[in-house]
């Protein structure tokens, strides 16, 4: 079965530092991975999509990498701010690319 795993422990970092979150998957590499942000009491919000043939994708202070050898995606937030505190979800696409399987999410806490 296709599994996708994220570190269930919360990540605590100091404001201004770079936060790095990890997403590992099993079996074949998906056509793409997506990262979402979820705040308490709200639905997930899409952040970035990275395709299998892309090694890196950037958007403002966010950077995502996709390593098909390690079967891993890393999500970086540079110059982190307390407002970045949230749960971040990684999701993999199925073969057809039309369905997502979500990881359990990692909670990020940025302290001022």
Which residue ranges make up the site for another protein (CB under 8 A)?
Answer: 6, 8, 32, 34, 41-46, 49, 89, 91, 93, 97-105
Shortest reach from residue 87's CB to another protein, in Å: 9
Shortest reach from residue 41's CB to another protein, in Å: 7
Q: Which residue has the tokens 């993999």?
A: 92
Nearer to another protein by Cβ, of 63 and 88: the residue is 88
Question: E-strand spans in the chain?
Answer: 4-6, 11-14, 19-25, 32-38, 45-51, 56-59, 62-67, 72-77, 86-93, 100-102, 106-111
Shortest reach from residue 43's CB to another protein, in Å: 3
């Amino acid at each position: 079965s296709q599994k996708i795993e994220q570190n269930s422990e919360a990540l605590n970092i100091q404001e201004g530092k770079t936060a790095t979150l990890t997403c590992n998957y099993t079996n074949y590499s998906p056509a793409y991975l997506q990262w979402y942000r979820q705040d308490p009491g709200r639905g997930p919000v899409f952040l970035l999509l990275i395709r299998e043939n892309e090694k890196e994708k950037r958007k403002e202070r966010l950077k995502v990498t996709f390593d098909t050898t390690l079967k891993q995606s890393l999500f970086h937030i540079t110059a982190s701010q307390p407002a970045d505190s949230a749960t971040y979800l990684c999701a993999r696409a199925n073969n057809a690319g039309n369905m997502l399987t979500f990881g359990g999410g990692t909670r990020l806490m940025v302290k001022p």
